[in-house]
Amino acid sequence: MAKKRSTLGTRWNWLKSITALAVSVFFFAPFYIILSLSFKPRTDRTSYWLFPKEPTFDAYAYALDRGDIGLAIINTLIVTFFSVILVLIFGAIAAYPLSRHKTRLNTLILSCFVGVMMVPPLSVLVPIYKELVTLGGINTYWGIILLTVTYSLPMSVFMFTNFIKSIPKELDEAALIDGCSQFMIFPRIILPNMAPVISSVLILTSVSIWNDYSFQLYVLQKPKLKTITLAISSFFTEGNSNMPAAAAATVLSVLPVAIIYLCLQKYFIQGTMDSAIK
């Protein structure tokens, strides 16, 4: 009886494995197509499904050279790096009072921040553009960074406050009794405990800023400041017939995130879960 059940179990597991494999093939197909296309010579007219018999790196050379994908990656790195640092600092220090002291002002601030998460950027981008023109922030790193930070902060404040709530308040009180000033509690007591949530916020924010399109489209209009999404979109819209190069540019833009994702998968999944907890 026991044996019969286990063979049924194995058979069931094989069925699951095959289903999972089929689903994965379906999900990976679009990526396979741009990969195979990116290794084809420009003149290759074979089906997108066929991998080239003699793969070449011509398309990559073209994308890096004429498409300025290298420059775009550097620009995106600059914007992402500085924005993420500011999001982490501003988000963490703001989250401490908001999670510890439920004053009327704090509750109001928190609900305003969380409300921003649902604002579609495009609904306010026309006035933001106008404001940045007045401030001289168009085509500047500080313009795009401050704007990006503002719209990335709500998520980080949300995740940080949820996490700090789970740290026992008794720790704060003990520190106060021991003569710690209330402003020192955060760096001395809370911050050392925040490593897991910091890694989650770091990962989620980096990916979303790396992938941003709407803010960058409005603020960065000089070709020299083009970020990845802007560079890719000009590849596809400026009447370019070099499809392998467009595919290569796309692969190059996805590659950094994909590699980091494959190495730190555990943290990406943890991050997604953290962001979902109410």
Partner 1 sequence: MKKEKQSMRRFIGSDPRALTLLTLPAVILFIMFVVVPIISGINISFTNWNGYSQNYSYVGFDNYRKMVTDPQVWTSFRNTLIYGFGSTLIQTILGLALAMLLSSKFFFRSGARTVIYLPAMVAQLIIGYIWYFIVTYERGALNDIILLFGGDKVDWMSKGFRAVMIITFINSIAYCGKTMIIFLAGLQSIPAMYREAASIDGANAWQSFRHITVPQLLPAFTTSLVLNIIGGLKMFGLVVSMTNGGPGYASHSLSSLINTLYFANQQAGYSAAVGMFSFVFIVFVNVLLNKYLQKKERQYNG
The residue among 61 and 258 lying less far from partner 1, judged by its C-beta, is: 258
Stretch that binds partner 1, among 59-67, 77-85, 110-118, 191-199 (CB under 8 A): 110-118
- Dihedrals phi, psi of 133, to nearest 5 degrees: -65, -45
Among positions 164, 186, 190, 201, the unique one binding partner 1 when judged by CB under 8 A: 186
Q: How far is CA 38 from CA 84, 92, 169, 259, in A?
A: 31, 42, 55, 18
Is 213 a binder of partner 1 (CB under 8 A)? yes
Is 159 a binder of partner 1 (CB under 8 A)? no
The residue among 225 and 268 lying less far from partner 1, judged by its C-beta, is: 268
Residues in Cβ contact with 155 at an 8 Å cutoff, skipping those fewer than 6 apart: 117, 201, 204, 205, 208, 275
> What are the helix (H) ranges across the chain?
2-38, 58-65, 69-100, 104-116, 121-135, 141-165, 169-177, 182-185, 195-210, 214-219, 228-237, 243-263, 265-276
Stretch that binds partner 1, among 54-62, 66-74, 191-199, 240-248 (CB under 8 A): 240-248
- Dihedrals phi, psi of 105, to nearest 5 degrees: -65, -45
| Least distance (Å) between residue 195 CB and partner 1 | 20
Q: How far is CA 149 from CA 53, 113, 253, in A?
A: 46, 12, 22
Q: Is the dihedral of CA 110, 115, 117, 119 positive or negative?
A: negative
If binding means CB under 8 A, how many residues of this protein chain bind partner 1? 95
Is 84 a binder of partner 1 (CB under 8 A)? no
Among positions 77, 109, 138, 171, the unique one binding partner 1 when judged by CB under 8 A: 109
Is 188 a binder of partner 1 (CB under 8 A)? no
The residue among 153 and 225 lying less far from partner 1, judged by its C-beta, is: 153
Contact 123, 212 (CB under 8 A): no
Chain residues 138-157 in contact with partner 1, contact rule CB under 8 A = 146-147, 149-151, 153, 157
Among positions 2, 177, 195, 276, the unique one binding partner 1 when judged by CB under 8 A: 276
Residues in Cβ contact with 72 at an 8 Å cutoff, skipping those fewer than 6 apart: 226, 227, 228, 230, 231, 232, 253
| Least distance (Å) between residue 3 CB and partner 1 | 19
Is 166 a binder of partner 1 (CB under 8 A)? no
| Least distance (Å) between residue 57 CB and partner 1 | 19
Among positions 51, 74, 131, 136, the unique one binding partner 1 when judged by CB under 8 A: 131
In whole angstroms, give the CA distance from residue 41 to residue 3: 56
Chain residues 20-59 in contact with partner 1, contact rule CB under 8 A = 20-21, 23-24, 27-31, 33-34, 37, 45, 47-49
